[in-house]
């Protein structure tokens, strides 16, 4: 399979992302004020940069865990079949949980993950997504907090990849095939 050539047009700057992460963390801190410990669950792999920046800004005791779910593989479109590739290490029953997602697209992955985690009976479960593409939604689901709403564009950077590339970009960029 030959790789498709593409260019990346900056969509959201690193500075804008940093400011929004700080604001989201302040809102999350306020909302969970009084919690004994907030379990922050990052959905791998796309959220790893976002979760690292977000937890450093949350002014609460936090525990970080990860769950890896896949409905894309190396493709640009969801398969609608959500597979759990890595489950949580810790228990969340009776605990305050914040799920951190890179992008809410069709909603299939987040819907599946949220239902899975709710079945484990957390005290409270909320979702923070860096990006939201509401025009692509096929499942009724919303994040409690959203960093940026974006149009239906394929994006990379700040942890988000195309075929395991471009996760290391400090900004969010739109992929344009040439």
The one-character DSSP state at 165 is B
Strands 155-156 and 145-149: unpaired
Q: Which of 105, 132, 161, 166 is catalytic?
A: 105
Q: Which residue in 22, 137, 138, 46 sits closest to 100, CA to CA?
A: 46
Q: In sequence order, what are the residues at sequence separation of 6 or more whose Cβ sits closer than 8 angstroms to the Cβ of residue 13?
A: 171
Whether 105 is catalytic: yes
**Exposure string for 79-107, b = 16+ CB within 10 A, e = fewer:** eeebeeeeebeeebeebbbbbbbbbbbbb
CA distance 118 to 170: 33
Q: Indicate the pairing of strand 96-104 with strand 145-149.
A: unpaired
Cα–Cα distance measured from residue 62 to residue 9, given in angstroms and rounded to the nearest whole number: 35
- Active-site residue numbers? 105
């Amino acid at each position: 399979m030959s790789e498709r050539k593409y260019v990346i047009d900056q969509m959201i700057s690193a500075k804008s992302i940093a400011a929004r992460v700080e604001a989201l963390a302040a809102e999350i801190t306020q909302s969970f004020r009084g919690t004994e410990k907030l379990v922050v669950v990052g959905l791998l792999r796309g959220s790893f940069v976002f979760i690292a920046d977000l937890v450093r800004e949350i002014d609460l005791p936090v525990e970080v865990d990860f769950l890896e779910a896949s409905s894309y593989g190396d493709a640009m479109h969801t398969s609608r079949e959500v597979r759990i590739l890595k489950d949580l290490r810790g228990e969340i029953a009776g605990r305050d949980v914040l799920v951190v997602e890179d992008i809410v697209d069709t909603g299939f992955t987040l819907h599946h993950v949220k239902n899975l985690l709710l079945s484990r009976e957390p005290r409270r479960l909320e979702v923070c997504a860096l990006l939201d593409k509401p025009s692509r939604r096929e499942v009724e689901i919303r994040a409690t907090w959203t960093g940026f709403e974006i149009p239906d564009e394929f994006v990379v950077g700040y942890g988000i990849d195309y075929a395991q590339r471009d996760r290391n970009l400090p900004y969010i960029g739109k992929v344009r095939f040439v």
